[in-house]
Structure 1
Amino acid sequence: MAQQAYVTDTDNGGTRSERPHPGFRRLFSRPAAGRWGDGGVWRRGVLVAAAGVLLALVMLAHSRIPNAVGNLGSLTETFLPWLGLLVLVLLVLALVRRSVTALVAVLVPAVVWLTLFGGLLTDKTAPGGDLTVVTHNVNADNSDPSGTARDVAASGADVVALEELTAAAVPTYEKALASAYPHHAVVGTVGLWSKHPMTGVEDVDIKLGWKRAMRATVTTPAGQVAVYVAHLPSVRVKLEAGFTARQRDKSADALGEAIAGERLTRVVLLGDLNGTMNDRALNAVTSQMRSTQGAAGSGFGFSWPASFPMARIDQIMVKGVEPESSWTLPRTGSDHLPVAARVRVDTTAS
């Protein structure tokens, strides 16, 4: 407890009296930030209010943030959902400042965030579907490929796509998955395992100079599906260069062009795209396909890094088939989480 300071007065009768020091009264007589009932609640918190409006503008106009300098736009879009944490910070500051102006202003980015991502907070999963698919970046440095393969197979998926395969690890994955998946193909550093027959396996040129994408026709009981597997180039955040993603962007355009030319009407894309659905750089792909997580998932479905997932860069996307459910699988020996979805190939079925 603070100790009061006193001053001593001597009256004309020679008696002494003490009273609190006036500086002490000024310091402790009212809260530094003011009271909710005084007129200052509208004048205080101007900076917090301005920050709230700015945050709302960033979320609303993220597509207009230029990529010319360090791909700042794509970087913002990669972690766009996390801007919701800034809304909470501003709310706390508004309460600390006891500012009605700030509180009202903070409602603006809160509404914008809910408009953009509120739908992901609801459970859109549904029963049914006739094909379960899984994609997993297994990590080239994975120390337990056999365990990873067993974990993925335990999901019961009909089709499994693996990315970041090394030549040394491929035989291990082939052996571990052979009993559950009689059909498989590996092209470069990506592979596809299926319980159903596969034909038309071919490399997909994504302008890298080495093979990191493939296509195959999987003949399911409900009909043929063109399945693409892709591992787009990694992106980096560097102080001197910003968000470096030029090669990823070029490969995304090539992948989108290949999918646009697909002859089958039912298409499933599995892979590590090193980008989120919000990232404009993936527009060549995202503009023509649906994300199973957005359409039939529950939550954000973040897949990377596995230790503390912050972004959904591993994607399952479809066109011509109906997503019924989407989820992430438990962590394996990789730095990514496996991503799974169940889709309905026979869209005429009720």
Structure 2
Amino acid sequence: MTVTAERPATTRRTWRRGRVIAAFAVGAALLPLAHPLVPNWPGNAGSLLETFLPWTGLLVVPLLAAALIRRSALALVALLLPALVWGACFGGRFFDKREPGGDLTVVSHNVNDENPDPAGTARALAAAGAQVIALEELKKPEIPKYADALAAGYPYHSVQGTVGVWSTYPLRDTRPVAIMPWTRALQTTVDTPKGPVAVFVAHLPSVRVRLDAGFTANGRDAAMGLLAAAIAAESAPRTVLVGDFNGTADDRALAPITTRMRAAQDEAGDGFGFTWPAAVPLARIDQIFVAGVRPLAAWTLPATGSDHLPVAATVAL
């Protein structure tokens, strides 16, 4: 009789324990869905959250440990909610969406102005077989090293400020894009056998996380607006935008771009495609965006002498 009397009470206590943990589980489930509601003040908190949005799934781990320690059935059931929401938001990125074929392959790389091996980096990028290679954070004394290493396979090239483009196809109408007081973006037209493609290369200002100022992204956001205006003024029906954006496609700051163009990695990649830092990639801040073309494959290349990983995409024209 004693055992029979205690079981219902024990069961009730199991379901009553862990209500705080269950509440946190509901909050963790809301983050991937309600992140646009997180204000950007103070300190661009919303953008900071969105930069690392896929990592919110890790919140389940300490909550699960707490639920097990508390032996809370309520908390364990509640933890199914953030797991299901995260899977619905990000699970599709684990599927390989790459297709064979394509007409144009583009590689983009922030080579790092302290790269110890510019020539080796250039050769590694050329080995990917791309028709267009875009480089960011070029240091003026090192530009000839990149140019020499790429000269044989890429006879057409242009460097504007700290960004450059090399192509197996002719380039025309190349010019800088004013997004900052010094040149960190360019636009050009690549004359492919299947017609012209407008190509933009950009390196947006860096961001930092500081205790006194939060996520210092205001300079990047201002440059993003100028870049978006230049792209909006482009009349070419086929456009490719590549570069280091110091922001992810989930970040609201990139909305002027992402509402007009599609991220190749999201449509034709395999995995998240994180690019920075190269040693332990945590975020995809190096991007290839497209409009008027169909991405068939997108991927990251092996590490070079840079602190970023190169990104590549093949598109159908």
Given that 2:239 and 2:290 are in contact with CA atoms closer than 8 Å, whether structure 1 keeps it comes out as: yes
Which residue in the other structure is 1:67 paired with? 40
> 2:234 is aligned with what amino acid?
E
Q: Show structure 2 runs of 5+ residues with no match.
A: 1-6
Which residue in the other structure is 1:128 paired with? 101
Given that 1:36 and 1:99 are in contact with CA atoms closer than 8 Å, whether structure 2 keeps it comes out as: no
Given that 1:36 and 1:98 are in contact with CA atoms closer than 8 Å, whether structure 2 keeps it comes out as: no
| Structure 1 residues 34-72: Cα deviation after superposition (integer angstroms, max 9, x where no partner) | 999632220111121111111122222101111120100
> 2:158 is aligned with what amino acid?
A
| Superposed displacement of residue 96, structure 1 | 2.9
Q: How does 1:132-281 map to 2 (within 5 A)?
A: 132-206=105-179, 208-281=180-253
Q: TM-score, normalization: structure 1? A: 0.87
> 1:313 is aligned with what amino acid?
I
RMSD after superposition:
1.4
| Superposed displacement of residue 306, structure 1 | 0.2
Given that 1:35 and 1:98 are in contact with CA atoms closer than 8 Å, whether structure 2 keeps it comes out as: no
Aligned length: 311
Given that 2:31 and 2:56 are in contact with CA atoms closer than 8 Å, whether structure 1 keeps it comes out as: no
Whole-Å separation in 1 of the counterparts to 2:222 and 2:16: 50
Whole-Å separation in 1 of the counterparts to 2:110 and 2:43: 26
Whole-Å separation in 1 of the counterparts to 2:313 and 2:294: 11
- Greater mean deviation of Cα atoms: 115-124 or 84-93: 84-93
Match of 2:268 among 296, 303, 307: 296
Whole-Å separation in 1 of the counterparts to 2:9 and 2:102: 55
Whole-Å separation in 2 of the counterparts to 1:75 and 1:35: 46
Which residue in the other structure is 2:59 paired with? 86
2:148 aligns to what SS in structure 1?
Answer: helix
Given that 1:35 and 1:41 are in contact with CA atoms closer than 8 Å, whether structure 2 keeps it comes out as: no
> 2:138 is aligned with what amino acid?
L
Q: How does 1:289-328 map to 2 (within 5 A)?
A: 289-328=261-300
Q: TM-score, normalization: structure 2? A: 0.96
Whole-Å separation in 2 of the counterparts to 1:40 and 1:220: 70
Given that 2:119 and 2:146 are in contact with CA atoms closer than 8 Å, whether structure 1 keeps it comes out as: yes
| Superposed displacement of residue 111, structure 1 | 1.6
- Greater mean deviation of Cα atoms: 324-333 or 90-99: 90-99
Match of 2:18 among 36, 45, 48: 45
| Structure 1 residues 217-236: Cα deviation after superposition (integer angstroms, max 9, x where no partner) | 00111111000000000000
Larger Rg: 1
Q: How does 1:73-112 map to 2 (within 5 A)?
A: 73-112=46-85
Q: Percentage identity across aligned positions? A: 58
Match of 1:330 among 290, 293, 302: 302
Which residue in the other structure is 1:31 paired with? none
| Superposed displacement of residue 100, structure 1 | 1.5
1:181 aligns to what SS in structure 2?
Answer: coil
Whole-Å separation in 2 of the counterparts to 1:256 and 1:58: 27
Whole-Å separation in 2 of the counterparts to 1:181 and 1:143: 22
